[in-house]
Structure 1
Amino acid sequence: MSLIAGNLAVVQRLLDSKEMMWAVFAGAAAHLYGNRRPIQDVDIVIMPGQMSSIVQLFQSSGKAVQFDGQRIIWRGIKIFDDLSVRRDGAHYPLSLDAPMQARLRKQSLLGAPVPVVAPEDVVVHKLLLDRGTSFGKFDVVDVEGILRRQTLDLEYLRQRLQLMQAETRLLGRLREMGIAI
């Protein structure tokens, strides 16, 4: 078992022991839904306003974490309570909201049973980020992998676009990728 797998299992047990709402997001979720590139780290989203509680939970368990006010980093695991994207002067809000919570899926990631956000959430977030390999990122490749292997809930995809105020920016891009909503 890799080090990151063991670390994810520790985080899963800590968060679940306190019955906290959380989910795997970003590249690790894309890995589960389509693009099987190696996992470099695991991004986790938690409820807004819970960062201090998570830091205390880790510290009370003898785990030293880095916290920069926006994310917690511990041994290949990154924890966020706000995944909003800012691009070209626009703000696209994203957090672990009720629609996202309603669509969480329990899956096994690196041997740990974890909640994972829906593929539609990953698609919208990664298309907004739109970072390529020149940045060491794989956003578009991840989206393409998801689209090849998942049947998306188009009504929820539309809802997520509306919630993030991203319709103008992404509807054309999604059409180019074969998704008409």
Structure 2
Amino acid sequence: MDPQDHERFEDFVDARWSALLRLANLLTGGDRHEAEDLVQIALMKALGRWRHIDDPEGYVRKVMYRQQISRWRLRRPHREATFAALPEDQGVADGTAAADLRITVGQALARLTARQRTMLVLRYFEDLSETEVAGVLGCSVGTVRSTTHRSLARLRSLAPELAAPAQAAVAAPSHTLPKGAHT
């Protein structure tokens, strides 16, 4: 790798590390160590092909998606992690409602299987169409639709505490909840 390519790679990593780590954090269900590993693996694969990559961001994200698919396939059968129930009083008037909602959504996503979580992250947080998700994951659009539908249903059953914020989101739309999560 010549010095100019090396500098371009370092600039890319410096500029995009935080965003890539946030995506990896969602994909891994909030496991910081696994998220860092996922980003590092993707960046190492990108480094090896750096000269030939036209869209570094897209390439690294696609590697992360595929790496996560490989991880969930290797981990079958999966044992669910359980969490203590959240307190009943979530109507805090000190401006922390958005942060509470992000924490609740993150904890609820962590309770899903890796496959379900990845589908929802790609579909709603990455805002990919069903066709794009099918292309990234190498499955049919019907599989994306059915898995997304079942994942949202499971998310609702595992985290009924999201029902109240979802009802409020109908009145005042927000980007913190996935599309269709309030239906």
> What is the TM-score with the length of structure 2 in the denominator?
0.28
Structure 1 or 2, whichever has the larger Rg, is: 2
Structure possessing the higher relative contact order (Cα contacts under 8 Å, 6 or more residues apart): 1
- Structure with greater strand share of residues: 1
